[in-house]
Amino acid sequence: MLSRRAALASLALGAATLSPGALASAEIDDLDTRPGLAALAAQRRILYGCAASTFELQNDRFVAVLTHEAKLIVPEYEMKRAALEPQPGRYAFAPGDALVRFAHERGLAIRGHTLVWHKANPPWLEQALSTPRKEQILTSFITDVVSRYRGQMHSWDVVNEALSPSDGRGDHLRQTLWLKALGSGYIDLAFHAARAADPHALLVYNDWGCEGAGPQHDRFRAATLDFLERAKTRGVPIGAYGMQGHLSAFGPPIDQRKLREFLSRVQSLGLRILITEHDVDDAGGISDLAVRDQAVADASRRFLDVVLENNATIGVLTWGLSDRFLDPPGFQAKLMGYSPRMLPLDDNFRRKPMWRGMAEAFSLRGH
């Protein structure tokens, strides 16, 4: 199913062009021209980027802010299979193409998200996976999509969220339509197909579950390390571990020691580390804005300080840049009567404490 924003975006997209019109000079004057996150990160040889959508990029003022702050984008929705292949074998590339073109015109890198996931799939997929063509259903999509953008992508999230230790399997794999149809070999098939279609893009295994504190996360970290190690031993061409980095401002704080240890073990497997979807959920706290913003900033900083210590870390992406485009508030936030503030910029594109914390963390890296 299309998300609200994706549906709006496909309506708004029309001829699939995202070139913004000229900005009124008063609007430009209003924008912060001090160095953005990407410039600060670049001084430490890190990429900073964010998820973006065709819907958001209809806003000229936001485009100016985004191109100032970020050096890398990732489509929030447009390269998921539900968006790319709504009918079997009939691709809808226009929104994805528009984002790739936008990135190139603006001097930004772009990464792809995501080739194999148990969510955001077209409705026809599950039935097609019960036919003898099931393996091809997996690999031909990867071949077609990765080949189309060959040489143009910084990296691809090849497989997303395939682990779920609580599902009880020795290999830690999540029970999904892919596992059911193809067995555990689907992971290897996917990475090899992606590698064959683009020899240079960094291939990423992307997941959550290793960021947090508590026994569940200990188990997730151990499972992830075991999974990555076995995949490397089999010669699966995984180049990086993508840590999503969805945090919670008012939940248990992350355990920096455990996170540090986990990331150095990822590094010792010869993998790069990319933070792919960082944001900080501020649901559940008190409603005072300044307190919430500071709690978000503190949680982010606590996380990024550890992540940036590791020199296998090549970049940090937030899952969006401005609170303006966040999905509608969840039930809890509605009860509290406030909208979520999970990202570096507020809903008027002004820098928040989270922005300042990130800027400081980038500036301190390596010191």
| Residues near ligand 9MR (CB under 6 A) | 3, 5, 76-77, 80, 119-120, 160, 244, 277, 327
CB atoms within 10 A of CB 3: 17
For ligand 9MR, the closer of residues 77 and 362 by Cβ is 77
Q: Which residue is nearest to ligand 9MR (CB)?
A: 3
Minimum CB distance to ligand 9MR, residue 92 (Å): 15
Q: How many residues does the chain have?
A: 367
d(CA 12, CA 289): 32
In Å, what is the CA distance from 189 to each residue of 20, 109, 176, 201? 40, 26, 16, 17
Main-chain dihedrals φ then ψ at residue 51, nearest 5 degrees: -70, 145
For ligand 9MR, the closer of residues 118 and 302 by Cβ is 118
Minimum CB distance to ligand 9MR, residue 83 (Å): 8
For ligand 9MR, the closer of residues 69 and 277 by Cβ is 277
Minimum CB distance to ligand 9MR, residue 62 (Å): 16
For ligand 9MR, the closer of residues 139 and 318 by Cβ is 318
For ligand 9MR, the closer of residues 185 and 330 by Cβ is 330
For ligand 9MR, the closer of residues 325 and 362 by Cβ is 325
Q: Whose structure tokens read 């922005």?
A: 355
Bridge partners of residue 71, in order along the sequence: none
In Å, what is the CA distance from 353 to each residue of 34, 250, 262, 344? 15, 16, 27, 7
Bridge partners of residue 112, in order along the sequence: 156
Minimum CB distance to ligand 9MR, residue 363 (Å): 28
Which among 247, 267, 249 is positioned nearest to 310, based on CA atoms? 267
Minimum CB distance to ligand 9MR, residue 231 (Å): 20
d(CA 308, CA 306): 5
For ligand 9MR, the closer of residues 114 and 313 by Cβ is 114
Beta strands in the chain (DSSP E): 47-52, 72-75, 109-110, 112-116, 155-160, 202-207, 240-243, 246-248, 272-281, 313-318
Token pair listed for 271: 């993998």
Minimum CB distance to ligand 9MR, residue 238 (Å): 18
Minimum CB distance to ligand 9MR, residue 6 (Å): 7
